[in-house]
């Protein structure tokens, strides 16, 4: 169990704010990409990278490192923002997002960028990667942990549930899957496009331990991570209630910001709100 105190919560919350600023800035520079779901996941990813995970930017392939897999690969900007802030590559490279020759592609590529554990983008593939990593860790008697981040719209993919079934079957208590439950996807409300509800009950039915939290409350995220460490014999799913576009008032809870980048004026407005 890791200590949680006011200073550690404040540190992670500040990292999330910095990441949101970088997300908005790099997407504005790129002129394309996925804004809403990157912003909704920032608090979760900040807690993982700046409080929870045992990683070393100087040794990105250290075999005992913890692993993070962005299963909702279109939210690559949140991963890139965390990696830059953690020191895996210089911050100025963020401005190369989606540009020809840049390692910061529209979806993460593990062959091109240090710190990326899995090349994701085809939804459902990332949680499957994560199950394989967790199983490998068990077989090799390693103590590393695996963290995956899925979108709630991603749960419409059948491969997610095949992976969920395998994770429970192999008792992967070294695996924690966060669901970024912001309720929206590119075509509208998740429950109207193809409802995966009730999400907690489905993971329980597949044999997972389930925790439900506010995905923007860093203390709750950290407490869930501590609790997951105490769970033995099965994987943990953390269903995190979030707001798409969190931190930018004109983006919040709007499906049209799923795959839209802000223009110059919108970047300025968003940064002003994030600085405030």
As a whole number of angstroms, the distance between CA 141 and CA 181 comes to 33
pLDDT in tens, 222-254: 999 999 999 999 999 999 999 999 999 999 999
Q: Which residue has the tokens 């210089």?
A: 90
What single-letter DSSP state applies at residue 229? H
Distances in Å between the alpha carbon of 131 and those of 3, 125, 236, 239, 263? 28, 10, 12, 18, 38
Identify the pLDDT of residue 216: 98
Q: Over the chain (276 residues), what is each successive 10-residue block's mean pLDDT?
A: 95 98 98 98 98 98 98 98 98 97 97 97 96 98 98 98 98 98 97 98 98 98 98 98 98 97 98 94
Q: What are 34's two structure tokens?
A: 């996925």
Q: What was the pLDDT predicted at 1?
A: 84
User: What pTM was estimated for this model as a whole?
Assistant: 0.97
pLDDT value for 276: 86
Domain 6-275 bears CATH identifier 3.40.50.970: yes
What stretches of 157-238 show up as alpha helix (H) in DSSP? 158-169, 190-194, 199-205, 218-230
Q: What is the pLDDT of residues 37-48, one digit of tens each?
A: 999 999 999 999
CB-CB contact of 65 with 144 (8 Å): yes
Residue length of the chain: 276
What residue segments make up the domains of the chain, in order of their start? 6-275
- Find, among 107, 115, 121, the residue nearest to 67 by Cα: 115
Write the pLDDT tens digit of every residue in 164-189.
999 999 999 999 999 999 999 999 99
Nearest to 257 by CA among 28, 83, 95, 45: 28
Cα–Cα–Cα angle for 187, 153, 106, nearest 5°? Answer: 80
């Amino acid at each position: 169990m890791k200590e949680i105190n006011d200073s550690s919560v404040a540190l992670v919350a500040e990292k999330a704010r910095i990441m949101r600023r970088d997300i908005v800035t790099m997407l504005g520079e790129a002129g394309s990409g996925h804004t809403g779901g990157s912003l909704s996941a920032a608090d979760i990813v900040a807690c993982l990278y700046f409080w929870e995970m045992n990683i070393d930017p100087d040794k990105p392939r250290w075999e005992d490192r913890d692993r993070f897999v962005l299963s909702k690969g279109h939210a690559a900007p949140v991963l890139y923002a965390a990696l830059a802030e953690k020191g895996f590559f210089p911050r100025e490279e963020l401005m190369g997002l989606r540009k020809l020759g840049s390692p910061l592609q529209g979806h993460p590529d593990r062959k091109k960028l240090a710190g990326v554990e899995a090349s994701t983008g085809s939804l459902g593939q990332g949680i499957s990667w994560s199950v394989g990593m967790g199983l490998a860790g068990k077989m090799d008697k390693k103590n590393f942990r695996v963290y995956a981040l899925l979108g709630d719209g991603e749960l419409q993919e059948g491969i997610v549930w095949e992976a969920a079934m395998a994770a429970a079957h192999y008792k992967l208590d070294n695996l924690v899957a966060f669901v970024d439950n912001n309720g929206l996807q590119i075509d509208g409300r998740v429950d109207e496009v193809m409802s995966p509800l009730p999400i907690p009950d489905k993971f329980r039915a597949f044999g997972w331990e389930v925790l439900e939290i506010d995905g923007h409350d860093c203390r709750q995220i950290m407490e869930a991570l501590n609790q997951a460490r105490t769970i033995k014999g099965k994987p943990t799913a953390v269903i995190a209630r979030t707001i798409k576009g969190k931190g930018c008032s004109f983006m919040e809870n709007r499906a049209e910001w799923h795959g839209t980048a802000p223009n110059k004026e919108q970047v300025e407005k968003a940064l002003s709100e994030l600085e405030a």
